Amino acid sequence: MFRGEGRPAVHGYDSWVAIGDSFTEGMGDMAPDGSCVGWADRLAELMAVQRPGFQYANLAVRGKMLAEIIAEQVPLAEEAAPDLVSLCGGGNDIITPGTDPDDVAADFDAAVARLRAAGSEVVLFTGPDPKVQPLLRRVRGKVGIYNGHLHAIAERNGARLVDLWSMDALHDKRAWCEDRLHFSSDGHRRIALRTAEVLGVPVVDDWREPLPPEDPKPWLRLRQDDLTWTTTHLLPWVARQLRGESLGDGLTPKRPQLTPYAVDRTHHHVF
């Protein structure tokens, strides 16, 4: 069902440029053709349904460090000067050993100030609470420090903030995909709903809706799942870290130009 179909324009945005890394590219939320959907595309489709002519670009590429986002994507968003820019970055820096969240936050702050100076409204995202995931749990303290900076950055620059840490629905493992690094389709759907709420975009569904009870898995099955994850996802991730490689090497943005979002009513992914 298309939320907003047949209604007058109900939000105040004519254009949006989404910048960032795999979170905004949409990894973990896959379309039937194998492409990434993600919270941003889901929300953009809803906004386009509600406001004909709505323009959207998604410059995010998986694996990008904050310095790369600032060098490659922020200038394009500044030049386009859309009504709205979404910025989520620094997560790949935070999970890298030896990085200081204070330094990452200082760079992030400067980027937000640039985007605001260009005249765009900016929406930011805290990191989610990684306690539920074994790989990310080890950097929970760094994520918490970084999140504190993000709250201050949003207040200082007059930006909006989507607090992923406080979303109880994301504390459920079913909100995450098999790699335990990215969100599942339902996780992305709920984040899109939460972002719509922050931006004042009307929706029907509620991101707070509890997940149905889950049947507990036998201990042996859990250990088998852990082994599969270790060989399929953890070891390749460690190997890429050691080689200085990224999943995004050689990739280009999926929506590199600010163009009208064409709503496909036969293959839509609105909530």
Per-residue model confidence (pLDDT) at position 216: 78
Indicate if the pLDDT at residue 5 is higher than 50. no
Indicate if the pLDDT at residue 263 is higher than 60. yes
Per-residue model confidence (pLDDT) at position 6: 47
Per-residue model confidence (pLDDT) at position 96: 87
pLDDT top residue among 171 and 226: 171
**Amino acid letter, residue 178:** E
Over residues 174-181, mean pLDDT: 87
**Amino acid letter, residue 113:** A
Q: State the chain's mean pLDDT as an integer.
A: 88
Question: Strand (E) positions, the chain?
Answer: 15-20, 55-58, 84-88, 121-125, 160-162, 255-260
- In 3D space, the residue among 17, 82, 54 whose CA is nearest the CA of residue 262 turns out to be 54
Task: Give the confidence band of 181 by pLDDT, cuts at 50, 70, 90.
Answer: confident
Indicate if the pLDDT at residue 1 is higher than 70. no
Task: Give the confidence band of 164 by pLDDT, cuts at 50, 70, 90.
Answer: very high
The three-class DSSP label of residue 151 is helix
Indicate if the pLDDT at residue 8 is higher than 70. no
pTM of the model: 0.89
Task: Give the confidence band of 97 by pLDDT, cuts at 50, 70, 90.
Answer: confident
pLDDT top residue among 111 and 227: 111
Per-residue model confidence (pLDDT) at position 133: 76
Over residues 247-262, mean pLDDT: 89
pLDDT top residue among 157 and 52: 157
Over residues 198-226, mean pLDDT: 82
User: Topology of 15-209+254-260 in CATH?
Assistant: Rossmann fold (3.40.50)
Sign of CA dihedral 137, 66, 41, 196: positive
Over residues 23-39, mean pLDDT: 94
Per-residue model confidence (pLDDT) at position 137: 80
The three-class DSSP label of residue 226 is helix
Indicate if the pLDDT at residue 32 is higher than 60. yes
Per-residue model confidence (pLDDT) at position 3: 44
Give the list of residues 6+ apart from residue 6 with CB closer than 8 angstroms, or none.
Answer: none
Over residues 125-146, mean pLDDT: 89
Least confident of 55-69, 128-142, 169-183: 128-142
Indicate if the pLDDT at residue 185 is higher than 80. yes
Per-residue model confidence (pLDDT) at position 267: 57
**Amino acid letter, residue 229:** W
